Homo-oligomer: A and B are copies of this chain.
Amino acid sequence: MALRGVLRLGEVRIRVLDMEAACRHYGDHMGLLKVMTDADGMTYFKAWDEHDHHCVVLRKADSAGLDYFAFKVYDDKTLTALEGKIKEFGLPVERIAAGVYAKSGRRLQFVLPSGHTMQLYAEKEQIGNTLGTINPGVMPDEGVIRGFRINRIDHLLLGGVNIDENARLFREVFEFDLTERLIDADSKASLALFVSCSTKPHDVAFVLQPNPNKFHHVSFLLESVSDLVHAADMIGKHRIPVEVNTNRHGITRGATIYFFDPSGNRNEVFTGGYVHYPDTPTLTWDTSALGAAAFSQDNTPRESFFTVLT
């Protein structure tokens, strides 16, 4: 058994207003590796230490936001099994043939209770991390790790309605664990829910918003707080708009920086956080500790953090 079923966030497609500016941001500044531009002008990026072909797809559009996000699952059998369970949960499932999405096997697509489009796939072309698999080294060549020194795509925060239903889907159908939740101190209503399918403190999270299908941020993994400070220096150098400079989340215990791409989509770089296992107790935060839950180094919530989404 071990790690099976739904494995990880594998792909996000982000709408950008200006492709050139976006490529400069995600590629030249953040240091993701541009691997492809397709016939529709969409641009594909990967982080250096991922094996799959890409994790970020940029699409030029009139408004910023997230087209869809996709999780990779263990194998095609898992896909088949999940299709039935998702339908049983009550969501219509669309089958997308292999090849419709670049470098990808067949996909399942469905809309979450929160209004977001989610996909699942079991196959994507692997191009490796440049180190090889026979007597590989541990350090890629100079220039492969660059920009913010991002290792991998990490997780996603989605804003929307019906987040309790989202969490129920992820727990009952996808067998994620509820790692943490933020509730209203009075009403006890869920304000944010964090779920994990791995040992990470979250693989995806949902924050209550008045409108469905809003994109809060996509997060990228760094190796250490030293690299986080380096990323902060690069963010400053490139005059990237910063929402919250280096801080630590109470929720997840991860160290973080929030900043915006040129279209106004929020990005995060993230490092650390505790090791989660299914038997780790769920942590509950309420709004009486909102500051500490959000940013534990200064215990100060940021208004924009709860209101600005794309």
* A residues in contact (CB < 8 Å) with B: 1-8, 49, 51-52, 72, 74, 78, 126, 128, 133-139, 142-143, 146-147, 151-152, 174-177, 196-200, 221, 223-229, 232-237, 239, 242, 245-250, 253, 255, 272, 274-275, 277-286, 288-289, 292-293, 295-300
Contact = CB atoms under 8 A, between A and B. Distances in A.
B247 A279 contact: no
A165 B54 CA distance: 36
Contacts of A283: 133-134, 136
A51 B151 contact: no
A257 to B, nearest CB: 8
Contacts of A72: 277, 279
Contacts of A295: 236, 245
A233 to B, nearest CB: 5
Nearest to A4: B1
Closest 5 CB pairs of A and B: A1-B5, A2-B197, A226-B226, A242-B298, A135-B289
A293 B135 contact: yes
Nearest to A227: B226
A252 to B, nearest CB: 9
A1 B173 CA distance: 8
A236 B3 contact: no
9 contacts: A1-B1, A2-B5, A3-B199, A51-B280, A134-B284, A139-B237, A226-B226, A233-B297, A246-B247
B135 A1 contact: no
Contact of A292 (B175, B236, B275, B299): B236
B248 A286 contact: no
A245 B3 CA distance: 33
B1 A297 contact: no
Given A175-B1, A224-B224, A236 B281 contact: no
A176 B2 contact: yes
B293 A236 contact: no
A127 to B, nearest CB: 11
A234 to B, nearest CB: 6
A300 B259 CA distance: 13
A197 to B, nearest CB: 4
A5 to B, nearest CB: 2
A50 to B, nearest CB: 9
